[in-house]
Amino acid sequence: MKINTKQTRIHKHKRVRKKVQGTSTKPRLCVFRSNKHIYAQIIDDMQGTTLVATSSLNLNNQEFDKIGPNCDTSRIVGKQLAEKSINEGIINVVFDRGGKLYHGRVKALAEAAKAAGMGF
C-alpha cells in the first residue's frame, strides 16, 4: 500500500484540531510550512476571523534570498508575529502545528514567538 504524505498530514491536522480550539481570550496560532515558505496566523475560531498574520513572504527579497527557507527565517517570522500580536493585545495563544512535527522550522517559529513575549 502506497502512503500519501499529504493525506497523512491532513489526517494528523484534523486529529489535532479536535482538541485545539481558539477562543477570543486565547486564540489559535496556526502554522503552515511549505517547502519554500512558512506562514503563521492567529485565529479566533469562535468568530472565524484572522486577527494577526505574517509569513516569510513579508521579508524583503534580498533578505530572504540571503537566508533561504531555514530555521533562521522561521525565527524572524515568529518574532514578527509576536510583535504584531502584542501590539494587538494578544499575549496567550494555543499552538496549532498544522499536522507537522514540532521540530525544525515549526519549533523555531514557536520558540522565537515565546522568546518575544507570547505565552502558549
User: What does the domain layout of the chain look like in residue ranges?
Assistant: 5-115
Predicted TM-score (pTM) of the model is: 0.86
Q: Which three cell numbers stand for residue 21?
A: 480550539
What mean pLDDT comes out for the span 24-31? Answer: 92
Residue 68: band (very low, low, confident or very high) from pLDDT cuts 50, 70, 90:
confident
Total Cβ atoms within 10 A of residue 82: 26
pLDDT of 93 higher than 90: yes
- CATH of 5-115 given 2.60.40.2700, 3.40.50.720, 3.30.420.100, 2.40.50.100: 3.30.420.100
Task: Determine the pLDDT at residue 19.
Answer: 84
Give the span between the Cα atoms of 3 and 15, in whole angstroms: 18
Q: Sign of the CA dihedral 76, 81, 84, 90? A: negative
**Of all helices (H) and strands (E), which one includes residue 28?**
strand 28-33
Task: Determine the pLDDT at residue 1.
Answer: 67
What mean pLDDT comes out for the span 60-88? Answer: 87
Give the span between the Cα atoms of 50 and 95, in whole angstroms: 15
